[in-house]
Amino acid sequence: MDRMKDDYKDILAFQFDKKNQIAFTTVQSCVYTDHRKPESLDGVWGFTPDVFRSVTRKNLFSASGKDEQGREVPMDLDFSSMEKIQVPGCWNCLDDRYWLYEGEAVYSRTFVYSKEKEGERIILRVGAANYECRIWLNGTLLSRHQGGFTPFYTELTQDLKEINHIVITVNNRREPDQVPSMNYDWFNYGGITRSVELFRLPAVYIKDFTASLVPDGTYGRIELKIKLDAPVQGACCHFKIEELGISREVLTDERGEARCVVQANPQLWDCEHPKLYEVQARCLEDQVKDRVGFREIRCDGKDILLNGRKIYLKGVCCHEESRNRGRIQTDEERLEILNTAKDMGCNILRLTHYPHSERMAVLADQAGMMLWEEIPVYWALDFENPETYSNAENQMRELMFRDKNRASVVIWSVGNENPDIQSRLDFMKGLLETCRNYDPTRLTSAACLVDVNTMCVKDRLAEFVDVVAFNEYYGWYYRDYEGVKVILDNTSIDKPMVITETGAGAKAGHHGGAEELFTEEHQERVYENQIRYTDGRIQGMFPWVLFDFISPIRKHPMQGGKNSKGLVAMDKATRKKAFYVMQEYYRNK
């Protein structure tokens, strides 16, 4: 009987996964890898959906397929004959069978490791995997991470062999305590959606590296910082910006950190002249570099100032979605997005509603496009759950760690359209405090709420953000056009105010009267009236949205599972009439 219980323990156990619930990998494990040489593990991996989580339940990560006498035994999974999938990729796009699949999937491959230097350390970086991800190497569970859009890091050094079997499980099932939670207006693409890479680092390496303009209004002081992965005191760190004639040596403190502020006269980064400088740091046996633009973004009363000059945020919202590969975009596609926005006259993109690929920020640095970046604290979350808050804060910090050296990123957003309840206010205040403590060089915001009873922006969160943002759809969900004028008449806030969403649905090529829903003419009229009633009264506008995108909650026949509010169709080429309304406005603004 006892033997029978052992044989069936995986079937009988409801808490079969408890042993695998190790602590989550967090921002504390992040490693600076920009411009380091990666060894890519992208390409063809084995893949299978695991609806009943049988691989975890039966502990198949280390199963050999042989008994104690070395005889072959039947297995429920043969890693060598799994279906093939491309990494990075979305399993929804692999086969129609998986289009709406939500749950756990198993990825598998082998790779060869050959030591190059004594004492070297091997770090694995997963650019993003949606949503909960675990990594097994040679049968040992090494890492567990939550959050579908930010990178995480795992050290492999102690568990490496010459031939290595890596298994990664990814689970995109929606749960109430997650960030985002159960309900949201985009497609829940599953899979390893960004690159998987190995990095060889010395025994003591540079874990973090920051270069930024000191935000004091002088535009002549640059702060340079590194942090070693160990508290080595007295190590000589050499900072260098050759083009500016900067060369400075600093000793690390007892925490293994080195910092200096140097006088300089850099050409400031802006949208017309996106100047970048190569910044280098060297300490012990490690060296890093980055291409960094120096600029200052701040508020002065109701004005937003870039390098001391008042700017209007000529923006647009954008989701991360390829024409046919889900969330997997090439640099050519990202440049297409930037060029389309620039052609419309934009100077800023709101990357909604989650962190997009870091490549977008790199390309925006080069193109001179400002970015609004945010985490998916979207609609209703479990705001009273401390674990949900820790998850959101970690996603925020991982995003800031990743993009802190990108001049294009000027606003961190901590959420979108959340109910004004006390638990949400405390939740968001905590995130805003995290942003300011970690990064005082950028502005903070969130999409606040409009009180439709008093017709004004009335959200306690507005007191704590730098830029007050709100979403409104007058002319669409509310059919009158003057509502936005009434809101602005009734709102008195001595801070910059921007509209982060506005617009109307339109099926590309569908025409009719200007008051007929889903026609290009109606969308065109909505934008004409938005401009009419807001011009000169706000500090920025972000039409919703640049391109149509897939959203299963959109069931109307004219939408067909897509959010059709794009100014451009999903083909990313067909521009609707409203595009040209915004183009004329922005180009003349």
pLDDT band at 9 (very low <50, low <70, confident <90, very high): low
Q: What is the pLDDT of residue 66?
A: 79
Q: What angle do CA 19, 20, 22 make, to 5 degrees?
A: 100
Beta strands of 15-160 (E only): which ranges? 39-40, 43-49, 83-87, 104-112, 121-126, 129-130, 132-137, 140-146, 152-155
Q: Which residue has the higher pLDDT, 465 or 8?
A: 465
Over the stretch 92-143, which tens digit does the pLDDT of each residue have?
999 999 999 999 999 999 999 999 999 999 999 999 999 999 999 999 999 9
Over the stretch 319-360, which tens digit does the pLDDT of each residue have?
999 999 999 999 999 999 999 999 999 999 999 999 999 999
Residues linked to residue 315 through DSSP beta bridges, in sequence order: 348
Over the stretch 275-329, which tens digit does the pLDDT of each residue have?
999 999 999 999 999 999 999 999 999 999 999 999 999 999 999 999 999 999 9
Over the stretch 175-191, which tens digit does the pLDDT of each residue have?
999 999 999 999 999 99
Q: What is the pLDDT of residue 282?
A: 98
Tokens matching residue 532: 């009419």
Chain position carrying tokens 């949205």? 545
Beta strands of 138-235 (E only): which ranges? 140-146, 152-155, 163-171, 191-192, 196-201, 206-213, 221-228
Q: What is the pLDDT of residue 336?
A: 98
pLDDT band at 7 (very low <50, low <70, confident <90, very high): low
Spatial distance between the Cα atoms of 133 and 42, rounded to a whole number of angstroms? 17
Spatial distance between the Cα atoms of 318 and 549, rounded to a whole number of angstroms? 9
The pLDDT of residue 1 is above 50: no
Percent of the chain whose pLDDT exceeds 70? 98
Q: Give the closest residue to 153 by CA, choosing from 205, 113, 105, 79.
A: 205
Q: What is the pLDDT of residue 436?
A: 97
Under a CB-based contact definition with an 8 Å cutoff, are residues 220 and 265 in contact?
yes
Q: What is the pLDDT of residue 77?
A: 87
Q: What is the pLDDT of residue 371?
A: 99
Contacts 24+ apart (CB under 8 A), 228-235: 228/204, 228/252, 228/256, 228/257, 228/283, 228/284, 229/31, 229/204, 229/205, 229/256, 230/204, 230/256, 231/255, 231/256, 232/204, 232/256, 232/284, 235/204, 235/283, 235/284
Q: What is the pLDDT of residue 305?
A: 98
Largest Cα–Cα separation, the chain: 82
Q: Which positions ≥6 away from 405 have C-beta within 8 Å? A: 34, 209, 210, 211, 212, 290, 292
Under a CB-based contact definition with an 8 Å cutoff, are residues 317 and 542 in contact?
yes
Region for residue 327 given its phi and psi (left: phi exceeds 0; alpha: psi -120 to 50; beta: otherwise): alpha
380-408: average pLDDT: 98
pLDDT band at 11 (very low <50, low <70, confident <90, very high): low
Torsional sign, CA 502, 505, 508, 513: negative
Average pLDDT value over all residues in the chain: 96
